[in-house]
Amino acid sequence: MKIITITENDSGQRVDKFLTKFLPDMPKSLLYKQLRKKRIKRNKKALTAQDVLSAGDELYLYINDEFFTEKAVPKAETKGLLVVYEDENLLIARKPAGQKAHGEENSLLSQLQRYLYEKGDYDPQKEQSFTPALSNRLDRNTDGLVLLAKNAPAQRVLNQKIKEGEVTKEYICLVNGVPKEKKKRLKNWLYISETANKVSVVAEGTKQAKEALLEYEVLEERGKESLLHITLLTGRKHQIRVQMAAAGHPLVGDTKYGAPKDNRYRYQALCAYRLTFCFATDAGVLQYLNGKSFALNKKDLF
């Protein structure tokens, strides 16, 4: 039997969601069986999978010791990591083109988790359910800013605000050619081919296709190329790349979407260079960020 105390990082979760994270080696069918048999209790009283946990609750777990496993300490190297902004609730880091955002030992997420561990801001062996995670993601070959919350309350708010479109993302890209219209909104319907890992512009109404909206503005003409500012109005896979290609201006270096090979750029010339917090409703622990913007220097990009 094990007794654990629910912390602020654990609170607000359904019992089953919390236990799935706390006991990752326990099959879900067995987890629900333990709940039905009342082998998991809160404050010595029976509870259900749907009950919501509060800080200070004590969970009594009458289950085998084999399911209590210790979380591993992140091992990634932090050399080269660039943190653009950080406070007690979140940080903003720059992901270089060519690095995976998550999913491997030296991904940006793994680096950030190691960075927080070394600072003493995160210890997986002390956390029961919370793990720092990226709230926005970028393609492997796209450069730019990503957000990571350092605690569960901030993570919940940040994820919700991004979902509601209250964190705006702006991009800089270099495209082939010079658009006739210097400022324009593009609207397309995009279909994702998972097998080819490629997105196509299709007719409106195509099954499984989703609407994509962005606005571009030409910042600078460079002969046969143009530097563009992009504001995303929707968040679709490869959205900027495929929409600009469909408009006749593929991103420089983006051979996947029709650009000629360019030895100057190993990856597509695209950077998520600015994030702005524009909360329409109360943002709780992150309200102090409302109206603030964080950006890379455009002159250092392309």
Q: Which residue has the tokens 């919350």?
A: 149
Q: Which residues contact 197 (CB under 8 A, 6 or more apart)?
A: none
User: Which whole-number Å values give the CA distances from 209 to 88, 192, 203, in the listed order?
Assistant: 40, 7, 8
Q: How many angstroms separate the CA atoms of 61 and 29, rounded?
A: 16
Determine contact, residues 173/230, Cβ cutoff 8 Å.
Answer: yes
Please state, as a whole number, how many other Cβ atoms lie within 10 Å of the Cβ of residue 277: 20
Q: How many angstroms separate the CA atoms of 20 and 27, rounded?
A: 9
Q: Which pLDDT score, from 0 to 100, does residue 105 have?
A: 80
CATH architecture of the domain 82-163 equals 2-Layer Sandwich (3.30)
Q: How many angstroms separate the CA atoms of 127 and 22, rounded?
A: 9
CATH architecture of the domain 170-268 equals 2-Layer Sandwich (3.30)
Q: Where are the domains of the chain?
A: 2-67, 82-163, 170-268
User: Which one, of 147, 276, 290, 174, lies nearest residue 230 by Cα?
Assistant: 174
Q: Which pLDDT score, from 0 to 100, does residue 54 have?
A: 94
User: Which whole-number Å values give the CA distances from 88 to 108, 122, 240, 274, 286, in the listed order?
Assistant: 20, 12, 33, 21, 10
For domain 2-67, which CATH number applies: 3.40.30.10, 3.10.290.10, 3.40.50.10540, 3.20.20.10?
Answer: 3.10.290.10
Q: How much is the pTM?
A: 0.88
Q: How many angstroms separate the CA atoms of 111 and 107, rounded?
A: 6
- The 3-class SS string of 216-249 reads EEEEEEECCEEEEEEEECCCCCCHHHHHHHHCCC
Residues across the chain: 302
- Buried/exposed code over 231-263 (b: 16+ C-beta within 10 A; e: otherwise): ebeeebebbbbbbbbbbebbbbbbebbbbeebe
pLDDT per residue as tens, the chain (302 positions): 899 999 999 999 999 999 999 999 999 999 999 999 999 999 999 899 999 999 999 999 999 888 988 888 888 999 999 999 999 999 999 999 999 998 878 899 999 999 999 999 999 999 999 999 999 989 899 999 999 999 999 999 999 999 999 999 999 999 999 999 999 999 999 999 988 889 999 999 999 999 999 999 999 999 999 999 999 999 899 999 999 999 999 999 999 999 999 999 999 999 999 999 999 999 999 999 999 999 999 888 99
Q: How many angstroms separate the CA atoms of 51 and 34, rounded?
A: 15
Q: How many angstroms separate the CA atoms of 202 and 19, rounded?
A: 43
Check for a shared fold between 82-163 and 170-268: yes
DSSP state of 260: P
Q: Which pLDDT score, from 0 to 100, does residue 149 have?
A: 97
Q: Which pLDDT score, from 0 to 100, does residue 93 have?
A: 97
Determine contact, residues 76/107, Cβ cutoff 8 Å.
Answer: yes
